Amino acid sequence: MKIASKHNLKSLWPLAALIVLYLTTRLMGLTALPMSSGEAVWIHWAQIIVQYPSELLVSGSSGRQPLFTWLTAVSLNIFSDPLVAGRFVAVLAGLASLIGLYVTWGSSYSRTIGFLIAFLYIVIPFTYDMDRLAQPDGLMSAFGIWMFRWALHIAQRTKPSAKAFKVLGIIIGAMLLTQISAIILLPLLFMVFYFWKVHQWPQFWKSFGVCLGIAFVMNLPALLNASYNESDRLHFGGKTNSGMGVQEAAQFLTKEAEAFRKKTGVPLPVLLPMSSGNPAEGITVYLWNHPDVRFVPVFWWPKSPKLIPAGLRFSHRPSIYQTSPVMRRETTLLDYAHFIFPDADYSREKFLRENPRFQKVWSFQGPDSGESIVIFKNHPKK
């Protein structure tokens, strides 16, 4: 017994070394790169869930699956830096992929092959980048690897068939709950079952039907909640901001908000365009729930060219993704409001002609010699 125990412990050392190397490469300088537009969207959805638990399916407003956002919401309760919280989930997903590859190839061929495949995973630049970005691609890959591994378990009869098919259903369900595009990985499953002739087993189709049924039920609420109408304007395409200057813009607005609160006693209104990603959403991620900042999504603009509503009161939504709860607020609250301008969507010159009371108060010089982030401030007539 003691000899077997020592042998098993010794066999874990290669995997332990891989895990240490992986965590070192992934965690070192984790926030060195600025927050990308895609990361800003996923992290902000998680922030909304933390503040409004009823919004568990908020990612459905843009037709996206929610699992990565749920995990990021949990991580936000552990880390104070939202970028660290989102990227840490990606690091853990990559770790699951690493272990899955080691176990799959190690059991199918040899521990040496498993070690080499896992080592390649660590050093390949593509996986290095994927494991350090707060986006769901790495999590989807991890579930895909474990789906393949579990299918081999079934094919090689190393797990009780009925129970193993249920576990497989949960893995597939989680994979599709991460990204619906993961359906392209399902042929791997069919290939395993075909080449090992699993489909010829007695009761196979019944067990496989239960497997797919579990996956379908897991995804049904998200599929029913997905909206492709309200979110047409919240797309991921077009010109996207690299994230450079987003943190600096948040620091500028923090100082402005603190001074505004000290002078007026109320939070600084920051107007947000109805477009997802950077610069506005990245700044929102850094300042979400800041006591001195009141975010105001301007869902009436640019359809109505005047950024400040003409009436005495206006409708205020919590975020660009939420249509409720809606509060009615005094328009005078928008005096001296700051506006994070969406360069990708609108002409700056046209905006200033239509809103002459707004003046540029801060900008960030991008690497292409242009201003990648511009903040305007309302100066009302008195």
Final residue belonging to a domain, choices 170, 195, 225:
225
Task: Identify whether residues 178 and 268 lie together within a single domain.
Answer: no
Q: Which of 198, 39, 262 is nearest to 129 (CA)?
A: 39
pLDDT surpassing 70 at residue 238: no
Residues 305-341: tens digit of each pLDDT? 999 998 999 999 999 999 888 999 999 999 999 999 9
C-alpha 205/C-alpha 218 separation (Å) is: 20
Structure confidence at residue 189 as a pLDDT band (50, 70, 90): very high
Residues 40-81: tens digit of each pLDDT? 999 999 999 999 999 999 999 888 999 999 999 999 999 999
Task: Identify whether residues 121 and 214 lie together within a single domain.
Answer: yes
C-alpha 211/C-alpha 190 separation (Å) is: 13
Helices (H), the chain: 2-27, 37-51, 67-76, 82-108, 111-123, 125-130, 137-155, 161-178, 186-195, 204-225, 246-264, 280-287, 348-354
Task: Identify whether residues 129 and 207 lie together within a single domain.
Answer: yes
Handedness of CA 155, 160, 163, 167 (dihedral sign): negative
Query: Please, which contacts does 342-346 make with residues 24 or more away whose CB atoms are closer than 8 Å?
Result: 342/273, 342/275, 342/279, 342/280, 343/239, 343/241, 343/279, 343/371, 343/372, 343/373, 343/374, 344/238, 344/239, 344/240, 344/241, 344/275, 345/238, 345/273, 345/275, 345/302, 346/273, 346/302
Task: Identify whether residues 16 and 96 lie together within a single domain.
Answer: yes
Q: Which of 16, 57, 9, 34 is nearest to 225 (CA)?
A: 57
Task: Identify whether residues 290 and 182 lie together within a single domain.
Answer: no
**Quick one: pLDDT at residue 380?**
85
**Quick one: pLDDT at residue 266?**
96
Residues 203-219: tens digit of each pLDDT? 899 999 999 999 999 99
Contact predicate 123/115, CB 8 Å: no
C-alpha 323/C-alpha 316 separation (Å) is: 9
C-alpha 148/C-alpha 260 separation (Å) is: 56
Q: How many domains is the chain built from?
A: 2
**Quick one: pLDDT at residue 133?**
97
Boundaries of domain holding 283: 246-378
Final residue belonging to a domain, choices 169, 195, 225:
225
**Quick one: pLDDT at residue 5?**
52
**Quick one: pLDDT at residue 6?**
55
**What does each C-alpha distance from 296 to 288, 307, 334 come to in angstroms?**
12, 11, 9
C-alpha 45/C-alpha 43 separation (Å) is: 5
Task: Identify whether residues 374 and 303 lie together within a single domain.
Answer: yes
- Residue that has been written with the tokens 């104070």 in this structure: 80
Final residue belonging to a domain, choices 191, 225, 259:
225
232: in domain: no
pLDDT surpassing 70 at residue 369: no
267: in domain: yes
Instruction: Determine what percent of the chain is predicted with pLDDT higher than 70.
Output: 91
Task: Identify whether residues 212 and 106 lie together within a single domain.
Answer: yes
Instruction: Determine what percent of the chain is predicted with pLDDT higher than 90.
Output: 79
**Quick one: pLDDT at residue 10?**
66
**Quick one: pLDDT at residue 67?**
98
User: Which one is predicted more confidently, 160 or 259?
Assistant: 259
138: in domain: yes
Task: Identify whether residues 82 and 210 lie together within a single domain.
Answer: yes
100: in domain: yes
Predicted TM-score (pTM) of this structure: 0.92
Task: Identify whether residues 105 and 252 lie together within a single domain.
Answer: no
Task: Identify whether residues 78 and 209 lie together within a single domain.
Answer: yes
Mean pLDDT throughout 109-114? Answer: 91
Task: Identify whether residues 184 and 77 lie together within a single domain.
Answer: yes
235: in domain: no
**Quick one: pLDDT at residue 271?**
98
Mean pLDDT throughout 179-198? Answer: 93
pLDDT surpassing 70 at residue 233: no
1: in domain: no
163: in domain: yes
Mean pLDDT throughout 269-292? Answer: 96
27: in domain: yes
Contact predicate 18/98, CB 8 Å: yes
Q: What is the mean pLDDT of the chain?
A: 91
Residues 164-176: tens digit of each pLDDT? 999 999 999 999 9
Task: Please state which of the ranges 79-88, 239-248, 285-294 shows the lowest mean pLDDT.
Answer: 239-248
Residues 346-365: tens digit of each pLDDT? 889 999 999 999 999 999 98
User: Which one is predicted more confidently, 367 or 248?
Assistant: 248
pLDDT surpassing 50 at residue 250: yes
Task: Identify whether residues 326 and 280 lie together within a single domain.
Answer: yes
